[in-house]
Amino acid sequence: MTLSSFFMRQLQQLVEETMRHTSPLKMEIVRRGLLQADVAQAVGISESRLSRILNGRTTPRDYELKHLSQVLGLEQEARSV
């Protein structure tokens, strides 16, 4: 095994481990190329509150979930399915 293939394998394992512990909302924010600060501002909550929601340390309120889905365009995608 070459050094570069060893590092690629290690990187792949790190990515897989990270994905197992990352919330779907956080993955959607990253997939869309958004910054958490921008999402928090658009939703009308603090960055720290959004971080706690994304990391599962607090449960989002109904209006926060609604605004998150609107900001991420998930509401529109669900209607078109």
Q: What CATH number has the domain bearing residue 66?
A: 1.10.260.40
Measured distance CA(79)–CA(61) in Å, rounded: 22
Counts for the chain of helices (H) and strands (E), in that order:
6, 0
Task: Write down the pLDDT at residue 42.
Answer: 95
Residue 42 burial class via C-beta count within 10 angstroms: exposed 0-12, middle 13-18, buried 19 and up? middle
Please say if the pLDDT value at position 81 is more than 60: no
**AA letter at 8:** M
Task: Give the pair of three-digit tokens for residue 22.
Answer: 């990352």
Domain containing 30: what range? 3-79
Number of folded domains in the chain?
1
Please tell me the pTM assigned to this model: 0.69
Query: DSSP character for 12?
Result: H
**How does pLDDT run across 5-50, given as a tens digit for each residue?**
887 888 777 767 766 767 888 888 988 999 999 999 999 999 999 9
Task: Write down the pLDDT at residue 35.
Answer: 94
Task: Write down the pLDDT at residue 23.
Answer: 81
Task: Write down the pLDDT at residue 80.
Answer: 52
